[in-house]
Chains A and B, each alone.
Chain A
Amino acid sequence: MAEEYWRWKEYNWHSPDIDWKQAESVTAGVDVGSVSSQAVIMTDGQLFAYSNMRTGSDSPDSARNAMNWAMEETGMTLEDVQYVVGTGYGRVNVPFAKRPITEIACHARGANWMYGPGVRTVLDMGGQDCKAIHCDERGKVTNFLMNDKCAAGTGRGMEVFADLLSVSIEEVGDMSFDVEEEPEPVSSTCVVFAKSEATSLLREGWPKSKVLAAYCSAMAHRVFTLLERIGVEKDFAITGGIAKNSGVVKRLEQEIGFEALKPKHDTQIAGALGGALFAKALLEKERKK
């Protein structure tokens, strides 16, 4: 089988310093996205473990797999988790979740924890959608805009390009700066058309790096127009998979005129993390009763 360049690596992590058995609250958020699924487990509001996997064709299975993988080698089982919140595209299909919460609310909440209470604008660039979110100092959503109808400006679109150019998705960003001069962005909005456009550019003798530069800047511009409509207030943070793509992030920062906050955690877990934080709050509310 041909190598699949879009296929990014799946992973899991857990903190070696936390003894979860001592924790008063163990909560989780499971974000079943259209392209990837994440599970985040928090103990007493601390980040304890997480996983990031591709979403399969079945949402309940994807949720279970992500959760199991996050718990791997921790000795924790699903019974030990006191409250689970489901979020993302498949949030209603998380069988063990007590409540579904929209990914917009979860991303804002997650970004608030990850980047601090100063965050006012969150840009979530996910697999099949792109959202610009405004939030207050508690991570509560005050306004948002989203593009979920078109692959332009999404991770799936970037995967298509990585595959076309046979460049692994993790390398796309850095490679796009390996150009003497910044080329004009590709003119097509639609990823299907942009693919044909890129093919003719390659045919004209453009190196891969130049084609990637042209695509990354088109994508940055596309996302910028979404942000512009809602307005960018500082502090500004980017979450989701594309946040890891320097080719898009740096070009977007140039268009906006200032930099996004540097991520301290994995940007792809923001939604699930927000879910785990909501789960903690909901658990405490339940216990008070």
Chain B
Amino acid sequence: MITAGVDCGAKNTKVVLLKDGEIVAKSIVLSGFDQRAAAEQSFAAALEMAGMSKSDVSNITATGAGMKEAQYAQDTVTEVGADAKGANFLFPSAKTIIDVGAEEGRAIKSDGKGKVIDFAVNEKCAAGAGSFTEAMARALEIRLEEMGPLSLKSQKAVPMNAQCAVFAESEVVTLIHAKTAKEDIARAVHDAIADRISSMVRRVGIEKDVALIGGVARNVGFVKSLEDNLEISFSIPEEPEYVSALGAAIVAAEHAKNK
């Protein structure tokens, strides 16, 4: 049986095709202004990669902030539900799952079988999500991908007072004027966002193992800051941005079996 999971994120739209418990194709497309078109494109790209047509797919489940825009999906699953399914598929020992995306951060407590026990979400404020780092990279005038490696070079912790991304941008400018090293500023940015995420994780409680997923898990600087803050290490998948879409594809398979 072939199923698909579509994750309509704030920044990227991801699709995973699953055949009898194995990933056969995945694709990622910028969500841009037209999430509906992005969902179509991403699905078409995944089908092409697998050499399949839409009729081969028995069930499609959508998730993510823009899930209603994937109009071809038969059903939907919450982001938290998809995260737990996807993370436990990859790491069955994971009891705590941290997902940091472009506009949302989540901490989830799972039973290890993909069932959600408790969760906390930060969805109102950019300070606990990837767009915070993005805004700061702009202020530092470096590429987003450089932020992580740069901050690993830092030898000094510089406190960041601002919580709000808008205020932090002014603070970064002040730090630049004060001749603070760019690597120290990059670290300060990651420490700040790690601080926000940590407080959310502590709210649901930390139980090992801990999986870190979502696009921001690719940022090595952020991972280091979060590990230092929580004093634990994480299981991180090779492609952390696809975990929610994978979870949705698993849910699609479960629903298809129950039908």
Give chain A's interface residues, CB within 8 Å of chain B: 34-35, 57-58, 128, 149-151, 156-157, 160, 188-193, 196, 199-200, 203
Contacts and interface: CB of A to CB of B under 8 A. Distances in A.
Nearest to B132: A192
A192 B163 contact: no
Contacts, number: 49
Given A57-B178, A200-B33, A34 B125 contact: no
Given A150-B125, A199-B33, A203-B33, A192 B177 contact: no
Nearest to B178: A57
A58 B173 CA distance: 11
Contacts of B165: 151, 190-192
7 contacts: A128-B170, A151-B166, A189-B124, A190-B125, A191-B166, A200-B33, A203-B33
- Closest 6 A/B residue pairs (Cβ): A151-B166, A192-B126, A57-B177, A203-B33, A57-B174, A190-B125
B167 A151 contact: yes
A128 B161 CA distance: 13
Interface string B134-161: 0100000000000000000000000000
A84 to B, nearest CB: 24
A149 B174 contact: no
Contacts of B167: 34, 128, 151, 156
A156 B124 CA distance: 18
B131 A192 contact: yes
B10 interface: yes
Question: Which interface class (under 10, 10 to 19, 20 to 34, 35 or more) fits B?
Answer: 10 to 19
A157 B33 contact: no
Q: Describe B's contact surface by its main secondary structure.
A: helix
Contacts of B10: 196
B124 A190 contact: yes
Contacts of B124: 188-190
Nearest to B135: A192
B166 A160 contact: yes
B170 A150 contact: no
Contacts of B166: 151, 156-157, 160, 191-192
Given A157-B166, A192-B135, A196-B103, 19 more contacts: A57-B173, A57-B177, A57-B178, A128-B167, A128-B170, A149-B163, A150-B163, A150-B164, A156-B170, A188-B124, A190-B124, A191-B164, A191-B165, A192-B126, A192-B132, A192-B165, A192-B166, A193-B131, A200-B33
Contacts of B164: 149-151, 190-191
Contacts of A190: 124-126, 164-165
A2 to B, nearest CB: 14
A34 B170 contact: yes
A200 B174 CA distance: 31
A193 B11 CA distance: 12
A156 B169 CA distance: 11
Nearest to B134: A192
A190 B170 CA distance: 16
Contacts of A200: 33
Nearest to A199: B33
A162 to B, nearest CB: 13
A160 B124 CA distance: 18
Contacts of B174: 57
A193 B103 contact: yes
Interface string B163-205: 1111100100110011000000000000000000000000000
B93 to A, nearest CB: 35
Nearest to A189: B124
Among A58, A190, A196, A200, the one with the most B-chain Cβ atoms within 10 Å of its Cβ is A190
A76 to B, nearest CB: 30
Interface in B71-122: 103
Contacts of B178: 57
Among B103, B167, B170, the one with the most A-chain Cβ atoms within 10 Å of its Cβ is B167
A199 B178 CA distance: 33
Contacts of A193: 103, 126, 131
B210 to A, nearest CB: 27
A270 B25 CA distance: 62
Contacts of B131: 192-193
A65 to B, nearest CB: 15
Contacts of A34: 167, 170
A217 B174 CA distance: 31
Nearest to B104: A193
